[in-house]
Structure 1
């Protein structure tokens, strides 16, 4: 992710903070410019337009700005928070406590989607538009299934509980499970539907998508039952990014889309920190200096994955030095690289 600086003192400003930790200036995130701006009396003027804080600044800790002349259908919310269609009742204090950190993950997703230029068409603007139902099975006892259907992404807030999520990760044998990962995966389902399977994208991408991922018309229910009874095939790592990706072509695409977001966001973060791997300063043989690009939109996927291979080696070593699991414990073989290349093509050709 892009690094932010306080416009008053130029010190580092966190993505989630509404005040500078150094000088105390009031800050707000201005999405159109992907930057932090300083506020006076809760607002500011940018290019002649008045901007104010999102109405979720108090209940959800949002630091994003909205135009004062915003569409009333957005309810005074920033783009990310306006996508929340359903949320726990105000008197459900247990669930509401977990809503705020979940909304941070949602804002990270929306910021990256906007940065990549992907279309974000809210449900309140058109039928079938993007929406999020952030519900809780923990406080209500209601069965909540994380998933996507007709533009609506459902997330179970119980996944924000570290103990619950980690227990589930271990039981399912997953190397990685986070709330942001859920958002990225489910967004993959949404974009496969609107960019690949329907509209103009179907003629352009669908045949190639089926060649790479398989026919999405195969029974999902049968695939689900088969996966949970027999698991992934023994040789799954040769052609898939994860065991879950083996279940059905839809899940394969969604997993690859999520990993594309993982990789691009992490390597962007490294670049924004000025990180460069100098081949003459490491103890192992490297091909060349690894200098992350400002953008990988105009280069083949091979360049992105080459840089990522070496950067992730460093990130994995940092994590293990702290007694943690490797940051990116995944192998990317040729079949997976081809799938990521397809996602890369769809993303860059669909960019606004």
Structure 2
């Protein structure tokens, strides 16, 4: 994530800020310019209080991110889990815009466009997933205790709301970027025409083991080529976001600086996203190791508990090549 500056006093701001902590100016994120503007000169999203949204409205009462939510709880039923989901969605949408990826709303393309159904499983079961551009999120995943319980039950090393939305939108981008010409995808990931439900049933009935580590970024990625793509897509976004954040903050690892990115206060016109995955990995591997050691120093689990084998890096390279056609 890039850093931002206060439009009044130029103090450093972060993506989630709705006011400058130095001068007190109310600010809001403007999607069009990807910058923080004065909120007193612009209209805030109507979900500012309900969803904790700090984006500015875009041609209507809602911002472009909140407008992608097709279904949500009634106002009186909204709780922190809804705010957690919307916060993750804002960060996701910012990154997709930053990478130059299409985010066509379902209101513009009723058959194939993007929409989010944020549903509560308090009264009936909800399955987080994707279907033809509609991403369904179980809001219970916004509760730390619930999510951690599922993570432990499924023997997963990592589970976050941001990870969920990155994974699920990855399924949509398979439709957008790959489905029309899947030949090379099948060479790298396998044949997606394999029975999906049967593959999932086999996956959940099997012991996680360690065999998958040589060929997949996670155990779940080995369930089916579609899940392999979505998991790899999500990890590419994890990596690019974290490397960009480190660059914006001027983080050094082992004496090697990470080149600044747009929005960094140390360089007004730095080089944009490196499209070379090998160069990205050369930055990410030492950075992730350093972050893991820092987490351990605080008594926490590794921040990035994954190893990227050569086969996984080849998959990351393939996904990045598809993203690069739009970036």
TM range (shorter): over 0.9
Give the Cα separation in 1 of the matches to 2:315 and 2:232: 7
Compared with structure 1, are the counterparts of its residues 226 and 256 closer, same or farther at alpha carbon in structure 2 (3 Å cutoff)? Answer: same
Q: How does 1:1-352 map to 2 (within 5 A)?
A: 1-40=1-40, 43-44=41-42, 52-67=43-58, 70=59, 75-92=60-77, 95-127=78-110, 128-138=112-122, 140=123, 142-198=124-180, 202=181, 206-232=182-208, 234-279=210-255, 289-292=256-259, 294=261, 297-351=273-327
Between the two proteins, the alignment pairs up a number of residues equal to 317
The two structures, once aligned, show a CA RMSD in angstroms of 1.5
Name the SS for the 2:175 alignment partner: helix
Is contact 2:275–2:324 with CA below 8 Å preserved after alignment? no
Shift of 1:193: 0.9
TM-score, length basis structure 2: 0.93
Gaps of at least 5 residues in structure 2 are 262-270
Give the Cα separation in 1 of the matches to 2:287 and 2:12: 23
Give the Cα separation in 2 of the matches to 1:300 and 1:8: 37
Determine the structure 2 residue equivalent to 1:284: none
Is contact 2:248–2:260 with CA below 8 Å preserved after alignment? no
Tell me which structure has the larger Cα radius of gyration.
Answer: 1
Compared with structure 1, are the counterparts of its residues 345 and 35 closer, same or farther at alpha carbon in structure 2 (3 Å cutoff)? Answer: same
Shift of 1:251: 0.4
TM-score, length basis structure 1: 0.86
Give the Cα separation in 2 of the matches to 1:213 and 1:324: 33
Shift of 1:131: 0.2
> Using CA pairs below 8 Å that are at least 6 residues apart, which structure has the higher relative contact order?
2
Name the SS for the 2:178 alignment partner: helix
Give the Cα separation in 2 of the matches to 1:130 and 1:338: 28
Give the Cα separation in 2 of the matches to 1:299 and 1:100: 33
Is contact 1:2–1:268 with CA below 8 Å preserved after alignment? yes
Gaps of at least 5 residues in structure 1 are 45-51, 280-288
